[in-house]
Chain A
Amino acid sequence: MAEYETHEYDVLVIGAGGAGLRAAIEAAGQGVSVGMVCKSLLGKAHTVMAEGGIAAALANVDDRDNWRVHFADTMRGGQYVNNWRMAELHAKEAPGCVRELEAWGALFDRTEDGRILQRNFGGHRYPRLAHVGDRTGLEMIRTLQDRGIHQGMHVHMEHAIITLLKDGDRVSGALGYDRERGRFRLFKAAAVVLATGGIGRAYRINSNSWEYTGDGNSLAYHAGAALMDMEFVQFHPTGMVWPPGVRGILVTEGVRGEGGVLTNKEGRRFMFDDIPENYRSQTADTEEEGWRYTQGDKSARRPPELLTRDHVARCIVREVREGRGSPHGGVFLDIAWIKERLPNAPEHIKRKLPSMYHQFKQLADIDITQHPMEVGPTTHYMMGGVKVDGDTQMSTVPGLFAAGECAAGLHGANRLGGNSLSDLLVFGKRAGHYAADFAKQNGAGRVDGGEVERAARKALEPFERGTASGDGPYQIQHALQEAMQDLVGIVRKEDEMLRALEVITALRERSRKVGVSGNREYNPGWHTALDLESLLTVSEAITRAAIERKESRGAQFREDCPGKDKACDKIHILIQKGAQGEMLVTRQPIPEMPAELKQIIEEMG
């Protein structure tokens, strides 16, 4: 019999990034008891890495902006397969959420008249991102963290969840372990909010930390919830490419927002060579016009470097493939050139992009005020995830909610920069609110002791097998990352993806034989072994969904189906666990959009 400590809460929040913290604050504000579990220390979640800003139509810098424009931009960026209700709520509620954050102590950069300053970003028609230099994520997570600790919630730092528990159809809790001592913890909860972030660790080149193994998606899937649009994985166009140890670390889109340009080894601004039809009327014709746009000229249109991330990433891949890349397999991103246009350009760059300056100086010996950076695509963000109701954020399992990156819908086929932080605030708040409601109305469910016992015993199996048995956990993880990178990456083909499924199946077999050394205390080898289940589940889901969507749209680019397919115009791809444990893939029509929203899209093009 496994031993475990039991904690009981009305609402259990899994994950302590922006969405988890915002959900916990909201639920605690409703007067219910709230427990929060996070794999790292508080305040270290990936929200801290967000650089650009929070997208919200405050209209402080350009008074032509409003929620309708933001809604249209989000839908266009997502190639119209977004959950339109979420895109609507997000655009309407983001400004209020930013002001709320300010009232809790967040300090944003200011306009001349003292209001919140907003900056340009890819795919946003007007300057829309509330920001603090290039460390907006840190400002946000610290503000939420400091607000949260005074709200009476209980935070279990360095705990991981291995399974959700159910009472009939509904969720009733979760079983996890504390990473420090390796002891099991049973969390009984009337409602559970998943806020576990992304899946970046499924790929070799990624901008994510060890935590982003798709736990929320996997936990929800195994609990019977539907996943949606898992084929849409965002490859951010600008990650570092050199030196090898930092490959994949993010270079903020803010560099391009401040006037940075992308060039190939011939010095050509290749982004002018391929401008998609639906963005042509919004894109600058000349380099001169693009520069004026970045400097706030309202009559100018944005430079092609600020097209959507999916497109920019593919253009970079094209340049590299056709032999026009930089020495280490990327392209050049140059902000130093603005010294031709601005007095004191080096000081200006250091003030606007301090973290980038610091990052390149320390990790790559490059002074970005003097020299171009080398950049290339990096796995960055998961648009797909747990299918949720747009208003309540409840999944298809009663009492199980999801918010932020691990939920699907808002971003459709491609997320706009800046729409992530606002997503965390708007839908973290909603998930917290409705989870508290659910807990009040339904009370606690029953927990099945047998289910807990089975999950705990399974989690300890790697110790019983020991290291003599076969592969180590890291070897399996690396093999999976290689396969996903090579076979289900930026450019996809059906035969390669079918091969990926075979690799995943073989790795799943091997993962069942993984053994670990040492004891249960703070043992990363064991933790990695337990994370493999999540990584394999999300990798299979991504691959199956990508095979099912036989077209290219947003982040999904199929070399064997390069155009859009009419049949895929209005569908989501759903992934669910079948009765025999097999992964089921189905197509689900996107509900008809109300006339009011349709009209906005027609007007704004």
Chain B
Amino acid sequence: MTQTATFKIWRGDAQGGEFKDYSTTVTEGMVVLDALHQIQADSANDLAVRWNCKAGRCGSCSAEVNGTPKLTCMTRLSQLNLDDPVRVEPMKTFPLIKDLVTDVAWNFETKRRIKKFKPRPPDADGRYRMAQEDVDRVQEFRKCIECFLCQDVCHVLREHHMQGQFIGPRLLVYTAALEMHPLDIENRLPDLKNSEGIGLCNITKCCTKVCPEDIRITDNAIIPLKERVVDQFYDPIRRLFRVLRK
């Protein structure tokens, strides 16, 4: 199975750019990132692409392939229609640096604002004991590889540009991992409600659909956090109940 395919790749920087066509040979089992590397080595040495592990573990090579946010290292060419050109362009939500590389620093800066892990004191012998099932509950969130595809697809960030008011699905998953950590005793609910803008998510589940780690972002992270926020701030009966119970 050797054939030639055409890739329409975005070339340009913050000042502007255009799609350029590149042809390359396709062999069995190739992924989009392989094609980008071939093109880079043969005819476009300065084509800017981020990548590291090439195995879907590091989340570096995020881009939009035929309009869908994807890890290019896990997108097999055999899943695409190669009769038409394959369109590869940078994530739209983040400022463009060059070609397929965007400035994702906002994610790192915003993460630093989230209250850090605060563990309970250890057991009497200085060790921590935890049940596997309590650990399992947060492992789904800790699988996140920070590819930021969920941030890219989230319309609150992508179309409404509310980066100042909303931390986005990735950082809500991060907050959920902290909030549900068996040892953590911090309270992040006031921040979630106020500066982190959890209310802005209207659960369209676009983030869940693009997650390469199959994290059920909306159902398992965002909705439970929303419920906790509602419980704490909006439910008078439960609040009264809690006061009486004390």
Contact = CB atoms under 8 A, between A and B. Distances in A.
A146 B116 contact: yes
Given A246-B29, A516-B46, A525-B46, A113 B58 contact: no
A148 to B, nearest CB: 10
A114 B122 CA distance: 13
A550 B130 CA distance: 52
A138 B52 CA distance: 14
A355 to B, nearest CB: 7
B56 interface: yes
Contacts of A250: 55
Residue picked from B34, B40, B48, most chain A C-beta under 10 Å: B48
A495 B106 CA distance: 54
Contacts of B139: 107, 132-133
B104 interface: yes
A356 to B, nearest CB: 10
Contact of A245 (B29, B53, B99): B29
A474 B44 CA distance: 11
Interface in A316-368: 355, 358-359, 362-364
Contact of B40 (A40, A133, A478, A524): A524
Contact of A42 (B99, B108, B181): B108
Contact of A363 (B31, B138, B142): B31
Contacts of A40: 50, 52, 60
B117 A105 contact: yes
A105 B47 contact: no
Given A43-B146, A245-B34, A524 B60 contact: no
B227 to A, nearest CB: 23
Given A48-B57, A103-B122, A242 B104 contact: no
Nearest to A112: B132
Nearest to B71: A362
Contact of A49 (B55, B119, B129, B138): B55
A110 B131 contact: yes
B41 interface: yes
A569 interface: no
Given A110-B131, A149-B112, A363-B31, A524 B143 contact: no
Contacts of B30: 243-245
Interface in A485-519: 516-519
Contact of A524 (B49, B74, B131, B178): B49
B132 A110 contact: yes
A99 B127 contact: yes
A40 B51 CA distance: 9
A48 B58 contact: yes
Provide the main secondary structure of the chain B interface: loop
A516 B45 contact: yes
Interface in B159-191: 178, 181-184
A516 B104 CA distance: 27
A206 to B, nearest CB: 11
Contact of B55 (A150, A246, A521): A246
A518 B40 contact: no
A40 to B, nearest CB: 6
Interface string A131-154: 011010011001000110110000
A517 B46 contact: yes
Given A114-B129, A209-B54, A138 B145 contact: yes
A140 to B, nearest CB: 11
A132 B60 CA distance: 22
A132 to B, nearest CB: 7
Residue picked from B31, B57, B59, B98, most chain A C-beta under 10 Å: B57
B127 A109 contact: no
Nearest to B58: A44
A517 B53 contact: no
Given A40-B50, A516-B46, A115 B112 contact: no
B111 interface: yes
A41 B60 contact: yes
A482 to B, nearest CB: 14
B74 A362 contact: yes
Interface string A449-481: 000000000000000000100001111001000
A242 B46 contact: no
Contact of A142 (B53, B76, B104, B142): B142
A107 B181 contact: yes
A210 to B, nearest CB: 7
A177 interface: no
B31 A46 contact: no
Interface in B18-46: 27-31, 34, 40-41, 45-46
A135 to B, nearest CB: 7
A542 B28 CA distance: 34
A455 to B, nearest CB: 22
Interface string A96-118: 00010011110111100111000
Nearest to B213: A358
A523 B49 CA distance: 9
A24 B119 CA distance: 22
Contacts of A475: 41
B56 A209 contact: no
B149 interface: no
Contacts of A243: 27-30
B5 interface: no
A211 interface: yes
Given A42-B108, A105-B117, 17 more contacts: A40-B52, A45-B52, A48-B145, A49-B58, A99-B126, A105-B119, A105-B183, A107-B142, A110-B132, A114-B130, A209-B53, A244-B28, A358-B56, A362-B56, A467-B45, A518-B45, A522-B97
15 contacts: A46-B53, A48-B58, A49-B58, A107-B182, A108-B135, A113-B129, A135-B57, A147-B116, A147-B117, A149-B111, A150-B116, A157-B108, A244-B28, A244-B29, A246-B29
